[in-house]
Structure 1
């Protein structure tokens, strides 16, 4: 698999594989977001998920993939810090604002900053039509956030702070997307980066979640929390792993934009499986998100 990935880098086959991986990441990221917003406190859910994928990645990192080159250790340390800050920003947004408001803002801010970061670091450029696609996608995402914000009735007193954390989260999404693209391109075997990334990234939040859990007066049952963590860990492997591989195979900015169609897939999941109403306005805004992503891909 590693040989096949490296053999199609920069080719038309690589671009098609990157497109498929980015869309797969979008679908799975919608599932991942739903797992984090469930009935468990976000820090507990995140800790369970991180513990699961850290434990799953450990034997692969130590015994299956090639050992990382010496220059990779500072890169892993940087990824550990960046992803830790990103998760803290996500928790700040989820705790202060309604999910339907802060999530589109998180996802909308990320691709804009990522496209700029990919230009600064990798020299990637978007043509005028692709920038039009980015604008259409952002219009749909921020429009969806504004539409939901006008109707939300919970946590309105902390909503502004929640939105500020959502913008900060979007900034960290851009930073980690660009940084991870640099990291996965810096090693000979992309699966070396993935295995060690998930192992190292799974070290911090289980500790924070355990300390929080022990301070609770009314502690939730560990069985359902562990099950959510295992499912979330498997989804995280497929979701984040897919988008990281996509950034190695093709342009970082295009992969970042395509991943943000996760908002559309999240709404579809809610409509199909949770019987949540969509309505014509939300459907139109989601169509803008999808249209923006299509424009970016086709124009590229």
Structure 2
């Protein structure tokens, strides 16, 4: 991974932490996520209007990725109902690079024509696992400090969905040959799926009525597109597992936002975990 791609992925990580923090600011996490999803549709259509339509073989990837994003948002929303940003986010994001690193080669063996394997060096694997260990260490407070454990299955479900869409989108963008256009259509499908599905399930009363909530939701949608557009582009230029791992440094930004904006405690354990995460990023760059 080149230095320029590394900087781009780190920028993507900040934007990802930012939109997650924006979802936490409202009284209704589900309502905020629905607004974000609604906002994704015009953003995706606007970007797609400047790009040629994807080839027929790309649409299956778009639809599969849209489904994976639907489950990711669903699990993440309910996890935030039960836990803090600095706890949910590490668990939800921390397991994903490990799943990608393990399942990526396995899927490549089972489905070689669709998912060619990325060749990873020993130090890149070491970096991925150190990074994952650091993020999981960041989340240990759920047990050590007696925090609400109801969020745990939702956070882990979000991690599995994250791993799924990481693999799907990384390879889907390669098939499409245009990461920007591919992400635009994934956002359209994802936004329509989540917004219509949740409104059908919960009804219109779940939507916030104040302008501030809609403004924040639209900003979160723009940050979400920027975050994922950059990371999927990077997946076409560097090994998917390494990009996924470096992107998880968003946890550092999320912890800082949780501390500065939400008044969440900055403990010694969080500081140590942060150092482990940085060590994992360095290993992926050696």
TM norm structure 1: 0.84
CA distance in 1, matches of 2:172, 2:27: 32
Partner residue of 1:10? none
2:164 match: 175
| Deviation of 1:126 (Å) | 3.2
Sort the Cα spacing of 1:82 and 1:226 in 2 relative to 1 into closer, same or farther, 3 A.
Answer: same
Residues of 1 paired with 2:35 and 2:198: CA distance? 8
Number of paired residues? 277
Q: 1:81 pairs with 37, 42, 67, which one?
A: 67
Alignment match, 1:223: 211
CA contact (8 A) 1:101 1:145 kept: yes
Residue aligned with 1:37, SS: helix
Tell me which moved more, 84-93 or 224-233. Answer: 84-93
Change (3 A) 1:74 1:50: same
- Compared CA separation, residues 88 and 276, structure 1 to 2 (3 A): closer
1:68–1:131 Cα change, 3 Å = closer
Equivalent residue for 2:204?
A: 214
Matches within 5 A, 1:68-217: 68-120=54-106, 121=108, 122-151=116-145, 153=147, 156=148, 159=149, 161-211=150-200, 212=202, 214-215=204-205
1:65–1:195 contact (8 Å) kept in structure 2: no
Tell me if structure 1 keeps the 8 A contact 2:124–2:242.
no
Q: Secondary structure at the match of 1:231?
A: helix
Residues 55-106 of structure 1 show CA distances to partners (whole Å, capped at 9, x for unaligned) of 1221332x31111111122222211212112222222322344443332111
Deviation (angstroms), 1:271: 4.0
1:232 equivalenced with 2:226 (yes/no) = no
Moved more, 143-152 or 22-31: 143-152
Correspondence for 1:5: none
> Distance in 2 between the 1:98 and 1:230 partners?
22
Map 1:30-49 onto structure 2 (within 5 A).
Answer: 30-49=17-36
- How far the C-alpha of 1:274 sits from its partner, in A, is 5.3
Cα distance, 1:271–1:126 mapped onto 2, change above 3 Å: same
- Is 1:254 matched with 2:242? yes
| 1:236-278 superposed Cα distances (whole Å, 9 cap, x missing partner) | 1110111100101111011000011111111223445556542
Query: Could you tell me the TM-score, scaled by structure 2's length?
Result: 0.88
1:241 alignment counterpart:
229
- Partner SS for 1:25: helix
Is the 2:128–2:242 contact (alpha carbons within 8 Å) kept by the matching residues of 1? no
C-alpha distance in 2 between matches for 1:99 and 1:16: 29
- Within 2, Cα distance between the matches of 1:64 and 1:229? 24
| Cα distance change on mapping 1:280 and 1:176 into 2, 3 Å | same
When Rg is computed on C-alpha atoms for both structures, the one with the higher figure is: 1
Shift of 1:173: 0.8
RMSD of aligned Cα (Å)? 2.2
